[in-house]
Amino acid sequence: MSSVSCDSAELESCRDEKAALILKFIAIASILIAGIAGVAIPLIGKKRRFLRTDTNLFFAAKAFAAGVILATGFVHMLPDATEALSNPCLPKAPWSKFPFSGFIAMMAALGTLLADFLSTQYYERKHEKQIQAVKVDSVDLPSEEGIVQVAGNDSNTKLFGEEDGNGIHIVGMHAHAAQHRHNHASGQEGCHGQVSEHLDENSHMHSHSHGWDDDDESGIRHVVVSQVLELGIISHSIIIGLSLGVSQSPCTIRPLLGALSFHQFFEGFALGGCISQAKFGNAHSMVMACFFAVTAPIGVGIGTGISKSYNPNSPRALAVEGILDSISAGILIYMALVDLIAADFLSKRMRCNTRLQVVSYIALFLGAGLMAALAAWA
């Protein structure tokens, strides 16, 4: 029967502090370069025809990245959290009495949903105020300028999810977009843009009565998704950086180095794509990209600094590691499924392009499969 030492760090068969330190410096450089390259490609590519975010190639690459993020949450973070929180070094009560890893991951996913919802409402209201200001300026102009105020729909007629003051919450935005799709066309007609003049006129009046159009909704979602995804990835990057930094075993660090560089590149690509689609200013985009790129290397550096005094088998370390891994898993799973996969795979563009569907699904499963396969080594 094997025993686990909880008083001091377990001596690893491959322990070599000098070699481990060299590998950690290599890891910092490798992860930093991978992160910068991943997040920079979509940001630079938006000015290049081949790499623009509205191309099919970008859609497929983003699907691959979403698969990588999903597998990171399910196959890497959640099992690690379960292992840490079920470690025999932890007190049996309460840790062995309840599946804390799954519960914490679930609550983290719901918390991310709440943050998503509140952020969307904030940007909706901000956008609505801007629209109202434009309307006031338009009313002040003389009628001979050719500007005629269009009467809107009855204020009592609201779409599901629509709030007073024409605001639409996160669920209502999807319903609103679905209503637009229904009004514009159905079936293949919607894909080819063959709509009747009557529907076009009604849809035009409808969008003006709300002060919204599909581009507004899409733009707000991209802003929210990019910022929530950034927070989730940053918290996750700190944790994985610490995990690598505290290890003194080259046999552990080598596979982690490759796995983290791989997943950091594609996480950066997904984040960079969301930032690019949100159409932030150059300074804002640069700050978000830099925060992402340096977070994991900083985590490795912090882990390296505390590695001599850090005991990974202490109850406190195990509890903190398990809780943080669970939170990261919940955030990554939510963001991958809801804001990356569902947002793209249920879009009109995907529905109307069979070739894009096939390529994107292959890329999604390939990304998830490759990242999951890395769990055999790291």
Q: Using DSSP, state whether 103 is helix, strand or coil.
A: helix
- Which positions ≥6 away from 150 have C-beta within 8 Å? 205, 208, 209
- For 211-227, how does the pLDDT look when each residue is reduced to its tens digit (9 = 90+)? 545 555 667 778 888 88
Cα–Cα dist 231/116, whole Å: 11
Tell me, what's the pLDDT at 248?
87
Please say if the pLDDT value at position 187 is more than 80. no
Q: Which two tokens stand for residue 34?
A: 């991978």
Sequence ranges of the domains in the chain: 17-120+225-376
Contact 212, 158 (CB under 8 A): no
Please report, to the nearest 10 degrees, the dihedral formed by the alpha carbons of residues 64, 67, 68, 74 taken in order: 180
Look at residues 254, 228, 256, 262 and name the one whose alpha carbon lies nearest to residue 242: 256
Model pTM? 0.76
Q: Using DSSP, state whether 162 is helix, strand or coil.
A: strand
Cα-Cα-Cα-Cα dihedral sign, residues 205, 206, 208, 213: negative
> What confidence tier does 145 reach under pLDDT thresholds 50, 70, 90?
very low
Q: Between 198 and 356, name the one with better pLDDT.
A: 356
- For 7-64, how does the pLDDT look when each residue is reduced to its tens digit (9 = 90+)? 554 445 678 889 999 999 999 999 999 999 999 998 887 767 666 777 888 889 999 9
Q: Which two tokens stand for residue 117?
A: 């919802």
Look at residues 98, 104, 105 and name the one whose alpha carbon lies nearest to residue 329: 105
Contact 50, 57 (CB under 8 A): yes
- For 279-294, how does the pLDDT look when each residue is reduced to its tens digit (9 = 90+)? 888 899 999 999 999 9
Cα–Cα dist 378/374, whole Å: 6
| HEC readout, 195-231 | CCHHHHHHHHHHHHHHCCCHHHHHHHHHHHHHHHHHH
Look at residues 45, 68, 42 and name the one whose alpha carbon lies nearest to residue 341: 68
Q: Between 161 and 367, name the one with better pLDDT.
A: 367
Cα–Cα dist 304/246, whole Å: 5
**What are the start-end ranges of the H helices in the chain?**
17-45, 56-71, 78-85, 92-95, 100-140, 170-184, 188-192, 197-210, 214-246, 250-278, 282-306, 315-334, 343-345, 348-351, 354-373
Cα–Cα dist 52/42, whole Å: 7
- For 323-348, how does the pLDDT look when each residue is reduced to its tens digit (9 = 90+)? 989 998 999 999 999 989 998 898 88
Cα–Cα dist 360/166, whole Å: 35
145-159 average pLDDT score: 46
Cα–Cα dist 292/274, whole Å: 13
Give long-range contacts, CB 8 A cutoff, 24+ apart: 94-102: 95/319, 100/322, 100/323, 100/326, 101/322, 101/325, 101/326, 101/329, 102/78, 102/326
